[in-house]
C-alpha cells in the first residue's frame, strides 16, 4: 500500500520543482517515500506519488518494454512534476482528530484485524455464544449479521462469498441449512451483547455475544 | 493430519448417541443404488423406503438395529434428541432386517431445519428378545444408550451414519 505523503500543496510550478528536488534528496532509492507532515494547521491534501524504479534497474528495463509514461526515466523529467508523472490523488483528507471515523481498529494492522474478525465470527457461528472483550464484540456484530444475511439469500454465489470469509466450510453449510428457518422473519439484529465482569489479568471489559 | 480421526468421532456420533466401541461386525446399508458411508449426504427423497442392510455374522447370532436422529428438530437446538426412526430386533446374522421383528416401523427422514445426522446402530443380542420389549411411547426423546441398557445389549458392534437436510421446495435462485 502506498504510504501517502503529505505536502503543502503549492500552486505554482516553481514550488513544485522545489518540492521534487527536496524529495530526491530525501530518498535513498526512489521508491515510495514519506515526508514528515508539515506543521500547517489547515487540512493538507494527500498526494500519492507513483513510485519509479531506481535508476540502477532502468537500463535493463527500458530496452525491453515500451517506456511507461508513469515511469520517470531519470533524465530532465526529474526537475518538473508534469512530464510523465501522473498524480494519483485518492481525494482523502487527513485531520489531526478522529472525528467521524467509525471503523474500529482493535489495535491491529488491517490484515490482522480482518483475520481476528473472521476468526471471531467463525467461532460465534460455531458455538452460538462466546465471551470476548467489549470492543471486539461490538466490532464483530456487523460481520456476523453480514454472514447471516448471506445465508438468508441462499444462492450459490452468496454461499461462495461466505466460504471465502468463514474459516470452516462445515459451518457455512450448516448455516445455509438452518438460517432461513431460524431467522426467516427477523429483520436484522441477529446478535445480542451482554456485558459482564472485567477480565482478571488486565481488567479488560468483557462481554458475551450470542446469536439471538 | 497425521492420524486419521475416526469419522464417527469427527461427526460426534460417538458421544452424542453411542459410547466408544470396537466394531466387531460389518454392516452395509444401501438406499437404492447408494451405499452409505459415514457422513455422506443423502436426499430425503431417496430415503423414503427402508434401506437394504446386510449384516455380517453367522445365523445363530441375533442382532438389533436402531436408526435414530440426534439432531431433532435442529442441530443447534436438539430439544427432541433423539428421534427414533426404526427399531428391528432378532435379526439373524448374515441376513437383513426383513428377517427380524420390527418394533418401531420405519419412518423416513424429514429434517425440518438444518443438517441432521441419521445413525444406524447395530447391537449383538445375547438372547432372543421377542416379546420382552415394549415399543417406546413416542419417537421423540429416545435414548439409544438407555434402550441398550434396557435390553442388556452392551456396546454396539457397528455404526454408520449419513447426513440429510431439507430439500428446497423450489429453487429460488
pLDDT recorded at residue A46: 47
Could you tell me which chain A residue has the CA closest to the CA of B112?
A: A181
pLDDT higher at B78 or A70? B78
Asked whether the beta carbons of residue B115 and residue A154 sit closer than 8 angstroms, the reply is: no
> Is B115 in contact with A182 (Cβ distance < 8 A)?
no
Instruction: Name the range with the highest mean pLDDT among A86-100, A123-137, B50-64.
Output: A123-137
Tens of pLDDT, residue by residue over A97-115, are 999 999 999 999 999 999 9
**Which positions in chain B touch A173 (Cβ < 8 Å)?**
115
CA B1 from centroid of its chain's CA atoms? 29
The single-letter DSSP state of residue B125 is E
Query: Nearest by CB to B115, which of A128, A177, A181?
Result: A177
> Closest approach of chain A CAs to the CA of B131, in angstroms?
41
| Dihedral angle of Cα B135, B158, B25, B157, to the nearest 10 degrees | -70
pLDDT score recorded for residue A135: 97
Topology annotation, domain B7-165: Phosphatidylethanolamine-binding Protein (3.90.280)
Residues of B with CB under 8 A from a CB of A: 74-76, 112-115, 165-166, 168, 172-173
pLDDT of residue A81: 55
Interface residue of A169, A177, A179 to substitute, partner B, most B CBs within 10 Å:
A177
C-alpha torsion B99→B105→B109→B115, nearest 10: -90
Bridge-based pairing of strands B158-165 and B40-41 is parallel
pLDDT higher than 70, residue A194 = yes
Query: Helices marked H in B11-160 — which ranges?
Result: 13-16, 144-150
A7 has a pLDDT exceeding 60: no
Taking CB atoms and an 8 Å limit, are A182 and B113 in contact across chains?
yes
- How sure is the predictor about A11, in pLDDT bands with cuts at 50, 70 and 90? very low
Which pLDDT tens digits describe chain B residue by residue (173 residues)? Answer: 445 668 888 788 888 888 888 888 888 899 888 898 888 888 888 888 888 888 888 888 888 999 999 988 888 888 888 899 999 988 888 888 888 888 888 988 888 888 899 999 998 888 887 777 788 888 888 888 888 888 888 888 889 999 998 876 655 54
Distance from CA of A207 to the nearest CA of B (A): 22
pLDDT at A61 over 50: no
**Residue carrying C-alpha cell 527536496:** A22
Q: Which residue has the cell 500547517?
A: A40
Complex confidence, ipTM? 0.72
Query: Cα-flanking dihedrals φ and ψ of residue B104, to 5°?
Result: -115, 120
What's this model's pTM, rounded to 2 decimal places? 0.66
Task: For B164, name the nearest residue in chain A, comparing CA atoms only.
Answer: A177
Q: A14 and A81 in contact (C-beta within 8 Å)? A: no
The CA-CA-CA angle for residues B38, B19, A171, to 5°, reads 45
Place of cell 444401501: B30
Taken as a whole, chain A contains a residue count of 212
pLDDT at A62 over 50: no
Q: What is the mean pLDDT of residues A148-169?
A: 95
pLDDT computed for residue A167 by the predictor: 97
Other C-beta atoms closer than 10 Å to the C-beta of A91 total 6
With H, G, I as helix, E, B as strand and everything else as coil, classify residue A147: helix
pLDDT score, position A71: 55
State the pLDDT at residue A149: 95
Question: Is pLDDT of A69 > 60?
Answer: no
User: Which pLDDT belongs to residue B129?
Assistant: 77
Strands B101-104 and B115-125: unpaired
Average pLDDT of chain A, as a whole number: 76
Statement: residue A70 has pLDDT above 80: no
- Residue among B74, B172, B173 minimizing CB distance to A178: B74
The whole-number average pLDDT for the span A192-206 is 96
Amino acid at each position: 500500500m502506498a504510504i501517502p505523503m503529505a505536502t503543502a500543496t503549492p500552486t505554482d510550478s516553481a514550488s513544485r520543482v522545489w518540492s521534487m528536488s527536496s524529495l530526491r534528496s530525501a530518498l535513498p532509492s526512489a521508491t515510495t517515500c514519506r515526508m514528515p507532515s508539515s506543521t500547517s494547521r489547515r487540512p493538507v491534501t494527500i498526494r500519492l506519488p507513483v513510485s519509479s524504479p531506481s535508476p540502477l534497474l532502468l537500463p535493463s528495463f527500458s530496452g525491453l518494454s515500451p517506456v511507461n509514461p508513469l515511469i520517470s526515466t531519470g533524465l530532465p523529467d526529474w526537475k518538473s512534476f508534469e512530464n510523465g508523472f501522473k498524480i494519483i490523488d485518492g481525494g482523502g483528507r487527513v485531520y489531526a482528530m478522529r472525528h467521524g471515523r467509525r471503523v474500529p481498529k482493535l489495535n491491529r494492522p488491517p490484515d490482522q484485524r480482518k483475520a481476528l474478525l473472521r476468526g471471531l465470527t467463525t467461532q460465534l457461528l460455531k458455538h452460538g455464544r462466546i465471551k470476548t472483550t467489549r470492543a471486539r464484540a461490538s466490532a464483530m456484530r456487523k460481520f456476523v449479521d453480514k454472514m447471516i444475511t448471506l445465508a438468508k439469500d441462499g444462492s450459490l454465489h452468496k454461499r461462495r462469498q461466505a466460504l471465502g470469509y468463514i474459516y470452516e466450510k462445515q459451518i457455512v453449510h450448516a448455516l445455509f441449512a438452518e438460517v432461513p428457518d431460524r431467522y426467516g422473519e427477523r429483520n436484522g439484529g441477529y446478535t445480542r451483547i451482554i456485558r459482564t465482569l472485567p477480565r482478571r489479568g488486565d481488567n479488560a471489559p468483557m462481554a458475551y455475544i450470542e446469536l439471538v | 493430519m497425521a492420524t486419521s480421526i475416526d469419522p464417527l468421532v469427527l461427526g460426534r456420533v460417538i458421544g452424542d448417541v453411542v459410547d466408544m466401541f470396537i466394531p466387531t461386525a460389518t454392516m452395509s446399508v444401501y438406499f437404492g443404488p447408494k451405499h452409505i458411508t459415514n457422513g455422506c449426504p443423502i436426499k430425503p427423497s431417496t430415503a423414503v423406503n427402508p434401506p437394504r442392510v446386510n449384516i455380517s455374522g453367522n445365523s445363530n447370532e441375533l442382532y438389533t438395529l436402531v436408526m435414530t436422529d440426534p439432531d431433532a428438530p435442529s442441530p443447534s437446538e436438539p430439544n427432541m434428541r433423539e428421534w427414533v426412526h426404526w427399531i428391528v430386533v432378532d435379526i439373524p446374522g448374515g441376513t437383513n432386517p426383513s428377517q427380524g421383528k420390527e418394533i418401531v416401523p420405519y419412518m423416513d427422514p424429514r429434517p425440518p431445519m438444518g443438517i441432521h445426522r441419521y445413525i444406524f446402530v447395530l447391537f449383538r443380542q445375547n438372547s432372543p428378545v421377542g416379546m420382552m420389549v415394549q415399543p417406546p411411547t413416542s419417537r421423540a426423546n429416545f435414548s439409544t444408550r438407555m434402550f441398550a441398557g434396557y435390553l442388556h445389549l452392551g456396546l454396539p458392534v457397528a455404526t454408520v451414519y449419513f447426513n440429510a437436510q431439507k430439500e428446497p421446495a423450489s429453487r429460488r435462485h
